[in-house]
């Protein structure tokens, strides 16, 4: 157990370093430029009917680089899990907003310069709605973080033990993420179609959050904190449903998930403030 936690801490230190951030930037730029070059080469007929290379188009440069960006953001989320569930939920909102942006960019591949606007109105509408959803979620995330009032809900003597438990759970999510991505890549190599399984990652988060919620009952005894922890698990469930929903419904569900999360934080703060005023009033 101690060795696993030590490895997790070492990986987090490396991941959060400036060197790692710089290398990620180089990598994402390389993916974008490299894919664009391959797309131009394919358009020129250099690859003939080669199974994978012949399918690369220019819009893949955006899609592939965005997929890797999301992968890196998901890795970053696993290192946020031990900090607090509120920060973890905020990171999930950020990833969801990026997924909507990616979906909007993905619609570019369905547009054709040879067709009129009327024939492509549906594609343009989906593209616009996903982009608008990403923008609204981005704005709501700022409100979500603005409402946060971090305070210690676990006794100091138990805090280290609870944090170590969260690190073990986060390490399991990280391993599951790599396994899931490997499955996506294998499917792409076998079929030539890449469909990132974001909903699978959020399913792992649901189980992780549930384990942490049940474990937290050992340390968290106050009703508002128990309610807040449980409600945040429901937020993760809503996000997963949104990512599985068809066009337009996914936007409504995604926005509803963020608004629900904001509502939980706002009412939790109000409950604590009201309870504090009640205690002070009865002391006087």
pLDDT in tens, the chain (284 residues): 678 888 899 999 999 999 999 999 999 999 999 999 999 988 888 877 777 778 888 888 888 898 899 999 999 999 999 988 889 999 999 999 999 998 888 777 666 655 666 767 777 888 889 999 999 999 999 999 998 876 665 665 677 788 888 999 999 999 999 999 998 888 888 887 777 888 889 989 999 988 888 887 776 667 778 888 889 999 999 999 998 898 889 999 999 999 999 999 999 888 876 666 655 666 65
Q: Can you read off the two tokens belonging to residue 22?
A: 């710089």
Whole-number Å distance between alpha carbons of 78 and 172: 9
Q: What is the reported pTM?
A: 0.87
Cα separation values, 270 from 9, 147, 225, 263, 275, Å: 35, 11, 12, 10, 8
Q: What share of the chain is helix, strand, coil (3-state, %, to 5)?
A: 80, 0, 20
Q: Give the position of tokens 């959060």.
A: 16
Q: Give phi and psi for 186, each to the nearest 5.
A: -65, -40
The pLDDT of residue 93: 96
Whole-number Å distance between alpha carbons of 248 and 250: 5
The pLDDT of residue 178: 93
The pLDDT of residue 260: 96
The pLDDT of residue 43: 83
Q: Can you read off the two tokens belonging to residue 153?
A: 């809900």
Domain segments of the chain as ranges: 2-283
Contact 31, 68 (CB under 8 A): yes
The DSSP string of 18-82 is: HHHHHHHHHHHHHHHHHHHHHHHHHHTTSSTT-TTGGG--TTHHHHHHHHHHHHHHHHHHHHHTT
The pLDDT of residue 25: 94
The pLDDT of residue 159: 74
């Amino acid at each position: 157990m101690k060795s696993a936690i030590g490895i997790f801490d070492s990986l987090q230190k490396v991941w959060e370093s400036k060197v790692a951030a710089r290398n990620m930037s180089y990598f994402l730029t390389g993916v974008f430029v490299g894919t664009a070059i391959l797309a131009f080469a394919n358009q020129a007929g250099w690859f003939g009917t080669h199974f994978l290379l012949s399918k690369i188009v220019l819009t893949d440069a955006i899609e592939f680089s965005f997929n890797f960006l999301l992968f890196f953001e998901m890795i970053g989320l696993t290192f946020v899990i031990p900090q607090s569930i509120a920060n973890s939920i905020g990171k999930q909102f950020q990833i969801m907003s990026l997924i909507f942006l990616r979906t909007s960019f993905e619609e570019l591949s369905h547009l054709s310069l040879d067709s009129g606007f009327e024939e492509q109105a549906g594609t343009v509408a989906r593209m616009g709605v996903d982009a608008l959803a990403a923008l609204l979620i981005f704005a709501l995330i700022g409100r979500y973080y603005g409402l946060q009032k971090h305070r210690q809900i676990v006794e100091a003597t138990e805090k280290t033990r609870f944090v170590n438990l969260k690190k073990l759970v986060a390490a399991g999510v990280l391993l599951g993420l790599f396994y899931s991505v490997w499955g996506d890549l294998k499917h792409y190599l076998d079929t030539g179609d890449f469909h990132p399984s974001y909903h699978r990652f959020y399913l792992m988060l649901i189980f992780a959050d549930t384990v942490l919620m049940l474990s937290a009952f050992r340390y968290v005894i106050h009703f508002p904190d128990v309610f807040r922890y449980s409600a945040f698990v429901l937020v993760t469930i809503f996000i997963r449903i949104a990512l599985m929903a068809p066009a337009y419904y996914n936007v409504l569900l995604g926005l509803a998930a963020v608004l629900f999360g904001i509502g939980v934080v706002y009412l939790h703060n109000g409950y604590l403030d009201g309870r504090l005023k009640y205690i002070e009033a009865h002391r006087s």
